[in-house]
Homo-oligomer: A and B are copies of this chain.
Amino acid sequence: MNTIGRLYTLTSFGESHGEALGGVIDGCPAGIPLSEEEIQHELNRRRPGQSSVTTSRTEEDRVEILSGIFEGVTTGSPIGFIVRNKDQRSRDYDAIKDLFRPSHADYTMQEKYGVRDYRGGGRSSAREHVVRVVGGAVARQVLKRLGVSIYGYTSQVGPIALKESYHEFNLEETENNVVRCPDSVVAREMELFIRKVQEEHDSVGGVVSCVIRGVPVGVGEPVFDRFQARLGYYMMGINAAKGFEYGEGFHAASMRGSEHNDTFVMENGQVRTLANHAGGILGGITSGEDIYFRVAFKPVATIGREQQTVNRFGEEVTFVAQGRHDSCVVPRAVPVVEAMAAMLVLDMMLEAGKIPTRV
C-alpha cells in the first residue's frame, strides 16, 4: 500500500530513476493559502549536494503542482504533484543489475516481485522521500495556522551525542550548521566525524530527535490508535530507521514509578504536569505538553569498500559501490522526520475533530 494516513492522506509513486516521482495529497482542508515556495524550500532542505557532508550528486527537485489549488488557495480537492527525475537514463547499471547489494533491498525486492527496477534501488530508494517532504510541507502550512510547530534536529552521529535534553537548546538554531544540530560545538564535532568516516570510505548511523509543540489535549485514542503507535508507524516507515522512542523511551525501562510519574498541577487555570517524562502523551492521547521523540538510523548501506555478496544466479561475487553517496543520512533525514510528523499530526487532529471547518 502506497497510501499513508486516514483523513489527511498521501499516496506516493515513483522510482529513483524513473520518469518522475509524485503523489496525491487528499483530505487537505479547503480555503488554505498555500505557498509553493515553502514546499520547494523543504525539498531543498532534503536535496543531496547541499553541503560538505552530503553527497555531491545534484538532484534538482522541482515540484510541479497539478491540481487542488485554485487562485492560490486549497479547494478541498486532491493535490496532485510530480517531481521529475533528470537524466534518469544516462547511467550504466549493468554492474549491479543482477547483484544483491549488502543491506539493501535488492534481494528482498527481487524475491517479492520477481521483477525489479534495479536502477538506483528503484522504488526502495530513499529518493522516494521527496514525495513525503511535499506531503509534509503542505501539512505544515496548515498546522502553522493552528499554532503547531515541529522541530527536528540531529542529536547523535555515531558516538557523538548531545547530552542535554531539548530544553537546553534553541531549536531555531538547527539550520545554522550543515549537520542540523542545535549545539554549534557538537555540530562541528559531528561534521568532522562524518568527514573522517567519508575519507575512510565508510558510513555511520545516528539519531534524529524531534519536538512537536502546540498540539491540543485530546488527540489520539486509548487502544490501538494511540498517538505514539501511529507516530511509530510513520517514523519506522522512513528508510534506514531502526528504532523509535518517545518521552523517556528505553530509559523508562530502568526507572521507578515514583520517578517517572508526572505530577499534575494547576497553572493559570490549566491542568499541566510538573515534569513531562510522559512525552506529551497519556494513555495514547495528547496532554497538551510538548511531544518529543527520537528515531535511530542505521549507517548508510552503500560504502566505498569492497564487499562480498551474491547475485541472483546464486554466485558469490565481490562488489564496490560506484558514485558518491552520503556517509551519514541523518542531517538529510531531519526534514523527512519533520514531514512525516507533520502529516501524522494533521491527520490525527482531523480525526479528533480539532480542526475548525474553516482554518
Residues of A within 8 A of B (CB): 1-4, 6, 9, 11-15, 18-24, 26-27, 30-31, 64-68, 70, 73-80, 82, 100, 102-105, 107-109, 111-117, 122-124, 128, 156, 158-159, 197, 202-207, 217-218, 221-226, 228-237, 239, 241-250, 252-266, 269, 271, 273, 277-279, 282-287, 296-303, 305, 307-310, 314-316, 352-353, 357-358
Contacts and interface: CB of A to CB of B under 8 A. Distances in A.
Nearest to A30: B113
Given A11-B11, A207-B250, A232-B233, 12 more contacts: A13-B77, A14-B80, A19-B65, A21-B66, A23-B24, A108-B218, A108-B282, A229-B237, A231-B236, A242-B250, A253-B297, A257-B300
B229 A236 contact: yes
Given A242-B246, A245-B243, A298-B252, A260 B13 contact: no
Given A24-B2, A156-B253, A263-B102, A13 B66 contact: yes
Contact of A230 (B73, B233, B273): B233
Nearest to A117: B70
A245 B242 contact: yes
B30 A123 contact: no
Contact of A75 (B70, B116, B229, B243): B116
27 contacts: A13-B26, A13-B68, A14-B78, A19-B64, A23-B24, A75-B113, A75-B115, A77-B117, A80-B82, A102-B263, A104-B282, A109-B222, A112-B352, A207-B253, A231-B236, A239-B283, A243-B245, A243-B253, A253-B298, A256-B299, A257-B299, A257-B300, A261-B299, A261-B303, A263-B307, A263-B309, A353-B353
Contacts of A2: 24, 26, 77-78, 221, 223-224
Contacts of A116: 70, 75
Contacts of A76: 112-113, 115
Nearest to A315: B266
Contacts of A156: 253-254
Number of copies: 4
Closest 3 CB pairs of A and B: A105-B283, A243-B245, A13-B80
Contacts of A204: 254-257
A284 B73 CA distance: 23
A301 B241 CA distance: 30
Contact of A283 (B108, B205, B233, B302): B108
A314 B253 CA distance: 32
A353 to B, nearest CB: 5
Given A26-B11, A70-B122, A103 B261 contact: yes
Contacts of A307: 261, 263
A159 B254 contact: yes
B20 A13 contact: no
Nearest to A4: B224
A298 B100 contact: no
